[in-house]
Amino acid sequence: MRPIPNIDHFLNDANREIQVRHDSVIDGAFNIKRKFSSLLTQARQLKTILLAKQAELDRYIAQYRPHQLYPQSIAEDTRKKLQKQTYKLRQCRNENRLLRTRNQELGNDLEAAHKELEKVDHLRCNICMVAFKNVVVPNEIRNTNDEETDVISLSSDK
């Protein structure tokens, strides 16, 4: 018969190898866990820093925003005033155009009336003179040189 080999030796070697591998896996898991917790801690710190910076930025924005809005509001107010003035200017221009047209029409009417008046001017003068003589100087002596015009001579002799 043959001698029975000692398998315990093989089992012990295999167990030890399994144990070593198991320990290395466990050590790797612990290392990974340590690195993960370290990364998680760094991420939390960075998040805290980021939130602090964001709050600081918000404070700066809140502090300087009125200065930024102020010129915009001035520009907007100025634009509104300019629009109102432009509207008034357009109204005045239109009114001026209408007044110029009306003045031109009235000027033309005046010219036509003046021409008509020149046609009857000599009649107007004679009628006015006779009326003036009758009203103002009724007791005065009148000398007539011709029939168209009367010359009034005032005499102190009565």
Structural domain includes residue 103 = yes
142 neighbors 150 (Cβ within 8 angstroms)? yes
pLDDT tens-digit readout, 55-76:
998 888 888 766 666 677 788 8
Q: How is residue 122 written in tokens?
A: 């000599």
Structural domain containing residue 138: 122-158
Structural domain includes residue 1 = no
Q: How is residue 148 written in tokens?
A: 């168209």
Q: How is residue 31 written in tokens?
A: 């290392």
Q: Amino acid letter at 124? A: R
Q: Whole-prediction pTM value?
A: 0.34
56: left (phi over 0), alpha (psi -120 to 50) or beta: alpha
CA diameter of the chain: 201
Structural domain includes residue 98 = yes
pLDDT above 70: percentage of residues in the chain: 65
pLDDT tens-digit readout, 72-112:
778 888 999 999 999 999 999 999 999 999 999 999 999 99
Residues 24 and 71 in one domain: yes
Residues 28 and 79 in one domain: yes
Structural domain includes residue 5 = no
Residues 94 and 158 in one domain: no
**Total domain count, the chain:** 2
Residues 137 and 103 in one domain: no
